[in-house]
Structure 1
Amino acid sequence: MLRILLVNDTDKPIAEMRQALAQQGYEVLNAVATPHALLKVVEGERPDVVIIDTESPSRDTLEQLAVMSSAAPRPVVMFTHDADQQLIRAAVGAGVTAYVVDGLSAERLAPVIEVALARFAEETRLRSRLAEVEQQLADRKLIDRAKGVLMDKRSMSEAQAYETLRNQAMKQGSRLADVARQIIAMADLLG
Structure 2
Amino acid sequence: MPVRVLVAEDEYLVREEIKASLTELGHIVVGEASDGETALNLAKSVKPDAAVLDIKMPGKDGIEVARELVKEGICAAVLLTAYALPEFIQRAKEAGAFGFLTKPFDPKALDAALQIAVARFHEFRKLQEEVSELEEELATRKLVERAKGLLMKHYNLSEDEAYRLLQRRSMETRKPMREVAEAVLMTLELMEEPKATRKKR
Structure 2: which amino acid aligns with 1:90? R
1:112 aligns with 2:122: no
**Which residue in 2 is equivalent to 1:128?**
129
Q: How far apart are the structure 2 equivalents of 1:69 and 1:152?
A: 46
User: Once the two structures are superposed, what CA deviation does each residue of 1:120-139 show, in whole Å capped at 9, x if it has no partner?
Assistant: 11001100111001100000
Return 5+ residue gaps in structure 2 as ranges.
Answer: 194-201
Comparing 26-35 with 126-135, greater Cα deviation is found at: 26-35
Aligned positions of 1:12-27 closer than 5 A = 13-27=14-28
Comparing 37-46 with 126-135, greater Cα deviation is found at: 37-46
Task: Choose the corresponding residue for 2:84, options 82, 85, 95.
Answer: 82
- TM-score, normalised with respect to structure 2: 0.82
Comparing 137-146 with 103-112, greater Cα deviation is found at: 103-112
Q: How far apart are the structure 2 equivalents of 1:60 and 1:19?
A: 23
**Which residue in 1 is equivalent to 2:32?**
31
Per-residue deviation at 1:89? 4.0
Per-residue deviation at 1:11? 8.2
Structure 2: which amino acid aligns with 1:107? K
* Secondary structure class of the residue paired with 1:52: strand
Q: 1:90 to 1:148 in 2, by over 3 A?
A: farther
Q: How far apart are the structure 1 equivalents of 2:31 and 2:140?
A: 46
User: Once the two structures are superposed, what CA deviation does each residue of 1:85-107 show, in whole Å capped at 9, x if it has no partner?
Assistant: x5434323334111234642012
Greater RCO, 1 or 2 (C-alpha within 8 Å, sep 6+): 1
Per-residue deviation at 1:12? 6.9
Q: How far apart are the structure 2 equivalents of 1:89 and 1:59?
A: 17
Q: 1:88 to 1:149 in 2, by over 3 A?
A: farther
Structure 1: which amino acid aligns with 2:113? V
Q: How far apart are the structure 1 equivalents of 2:190 and 2:146?
A: 15
**Greater Rg, structure 1 or structure 2?**
2
What is the total number of aligned residue pairs between the two structures?
A: 190
1:166 aligns with 2:177: no
* Secondary structure class of the residue paired with 1:31: strand
Q: 1:103 to 1:187 in 2, by over 3 A?
A: farther
User: Once the two structures are superposed, what CA deviation does each residue of 1:62-97 show, in whole Å capped at 9, x if it has no partner?
Assistant: 33333333345101111222241x543432333411
Structure 2: which amino acid aligns with 1:91? A
Q: How far apart are the structure 2 equivalents of 1:104 and 1:68?
A: 23
Return 5+ residue gaps in structure 1 as ranges.
Answer: none
Contact 1:147/1:158 (8 A) holds in 2: yes
* Secondary structure class of the residue paired with 1:96: coil
**Which residue in 2 is equivalent to 1:98?**
99
Per-residue deviation at 1:145? 0.6
Superposed CA RMSD in Å reads 2.5
Q: 1:37 to 1:136 in 2, by over 3 A?
A: same
**Which residue in 1 is equivalent to 2:153?**
152
Q: How far apart are the structure 1 equivalents of 2:174 and 2:186?
A: 19
